[in-house]
Structure 1
């Protein structure tokens, strides 16, 4: 028997960050199809309102800057007022992934990565969890990455941010034991979205955003602590620290683990990097 009260998605309110495109939009579609009301938050105000309109009457679009706690609080308040109920499920999905050698990364990009990927998650949890705990039910999904378990050349600060989210999720899940509120970390491999555009990851399996969306929706029922997509890559990432460094080095070379530095289509990648820098 589950130690968490069941959340019926039919009519439940789900809030999703970074929801105008990619994993966030796919997740919004999946929840709408499950009967939920969905509040989509994104920094791209025009686009998030457009896609929310396309999703139908049970969806709403809101401007949201996850790095600004006041903006996040405004998103939560607007979503709950418009849908006339508290948030049952929060999906912290917003994220950025700059790539390049660590020594070449500008400080401002490092700060952006940590502000969006880590503090964006912290802000959402601090704003939504108290109400969930008071009601004795609720679920939070933090979309992390397998890069939160397995270091990748060219993504050092991104790795650091996702390691932080994995640890944050695990620790707060322990703290909330017995409250009826669950927290799940979803760990995707490389996803075919703009975030990873222009990078050829070679042997690293890539997945569609709809696969991540399905895992997020499923977690509302399973309430598992961690969900890797695909699952076998999660097992490999968990086992990697047990492999001798010399053996792992050979494997890494064969798998082209420097893809985020050496196997990049700069023209394609530049479009993404320019967008995240200009939006922030």
Structure 2
């Protein structure tokens, strides 16, 4: 009987200790779970530059950050963790997560267009020189036409000013486009609408990241690459020619249960460099 009582007491104490160690109520701690994109991501490149996380060529993102490899994984990660913070293309924002204001300004296309929301970057397609195949050239013409730029606006991005109209070419053949996961949803829509006008053309849109998009275009794997950042010097030196097809904001996102609605640029920088590690350090 004594052994039984002692065993039950030990189990009870063990459960109590586990309960105390697994929760946050004992200390009030709400440790921030920093979520970032992978190296090579154009969204990461633009984010660390715009928020000052990168100094020179050094990306100072905390080593404690959880790294995700796509926009969709970033959203699902933040959606599933009440203490998480991440960043995505504004055009990919959904009700699954909450975009915080930055310096008191909401992340909206209107505020990006007006310049009030300053966290924005270009969506670029790149080609190896300007001597393109007939299909690639025609698809580029469609993207930059009033029809193509209307789709850019419909998808939640800021269109480029244009008055050029597009007429179906009746071409046939195939085209491979690849790169940034942020640009991919927009490119898929553009390709879908282009193929309705040119049903004999097949466009394959392959998702990876901006660096892969640029590198594979240089190597001839893609005829058109997608980048969600400016091209690097070594990429232009290798013959890549950029074309801006849209402007996109970067939304800083948190879990919908997070009480924080507004962060400053400096607070975001401090979170991503590991200087701020707990939500209690930020006034909701």
Q: So what's the TM-score if we normalise by structure 1?
A: 0.26
Comparing both structures, which one devotes a greater share of its residues to helix?
Answer: 1
TM-score normalised by the chain length of structure 2: 0.26
Greater relative contact order: 1 or 2 (C-alpha under 8 angstroms, separation 6 or more)? 2
